[in-house]
Homo-oligomer: A and B are copies of this chain.
Amino acid sequence: MIKSNHVIGVDIGGTNTKIGLVSAGGKIELQRNFRTDKYKGGPDYAENLAREIKDICAAVGDAAGCRGVGIAAPNVNFLKGTIESPANLKWGTFDLVGELKKYIDRPVKIVNDANAAALGELRYGLAKNLNTFVVITLGTGLGSGIVINGELLNGSNGLAGELGHLTVEPQGRLCGCGRLGCLETYMSANGLRRSVLYFLSQRPYDSELAHISYSELSAKAIAEAAAQKDALALDVLDFTVRILARKLADVVVCLDPQAFIFMGGVANMGEQLFAPLRTYFEESLMPVFRGKIRIIHSKMKDGEAAILGASTLVA
């Protein structure tokens, strides 16, 4: 067998699946995307994913295919290697690794998507010189991956780093997890949309956002309105950033990390988000920690950190 220097990294999202052919140096040399939501069941999806992986390996003319497949997916039980009833996939609990191995005679490993992103930052990103940090992905929800002394924190049930489910308000908004007031019901794309509606319910605003229905409203529209100094969008952003700052301060007294690294669609708001976040974060911190912990925006493209991080599982 010719030894390949390539590995495959896969990022499975609710809408799209991204497959990257990753070089030994951590470069995504080739990428293909396909619709995740076209498949009704796990086995159908796995069969197609295997075909796409073989295609991408063949395309690069590498006789050995690739050395292995690392997968980032939502709701992964790291200890069992299964995907457990992810809200966005509707496939039920499903042994993706087992299914893929029917088609692919190479090591296949799977990890939670935000944990994969943390591994990607650790190996190839802003965390290359860090050993204790937290990656937070701000998309539809809020995901997180924690690295302690250069190792991913898995926890005793394979479920550590679910910071989207820190409680903000015990009697607050209903969360997908079944509880009330979780952080991701405030700080996420959906959280921002809910906050726009809440603020409009409390007082009148002369805002473009008042003309958009809840189902049409997007985090992007809110970010654009904030950039235009729309009062409603600015109030929502201020409200949200204060909540996030407070919960990050709680994470700090627990972990004492060097940095929080943000990525995902909502993080693309950039300094409009990070400038006030740094201010409120410093105010919220226990004094001994002030000035010591960085809040930074990942330099990787969407999905890149997860693809690269997943690929490190088999590199």
Which residues of A approach B to under 8 Å, CB–CB? 131-132, 146, 148-149, 151, 153-163, 165-167, 170, 177-179, 182, 246, 249-251, 253-258, 284, 286-289, 292
Report yes or no: B156 in contact with A287, Cβ–Cβ below 8 A.
no
User: Given contacts A167-B249, A246-B170, are A179 and B255 in contact (CB under 8 A)?
Assistant: no
CA distance A178 to B283 in the complex (A): 11
Say how many copies of this protein the assembly contains: 2
Report chain B residues within 8 Å CB of A254: 146, 160-163, 166, 251, 254-255
Report yes or no: B148 in contact with A153, Cβ–Cβ below 8 A.
yes
CA distance A284 to B162 in the complex (A): 14
CA distance A213 to B154 in the complex (A): 48
Which secondary structure dominates chain A's binding surface?
loop
**Contact sample, A vs B, 23 pairs, CB 8 Å cutoff:** A131-B156, A132-B156, A153-B255, A155-B255, A155-B256, A156-B257, A156-B258, A157-B256, A157-B292, A158-B256, A159-B288, A160-B254, A160-B255, A161-B253, A161-B256, A163-B254, A166-B253, A166-B254, A167-B249, A167-B250, A177-B287, A178-B287, A179-B284
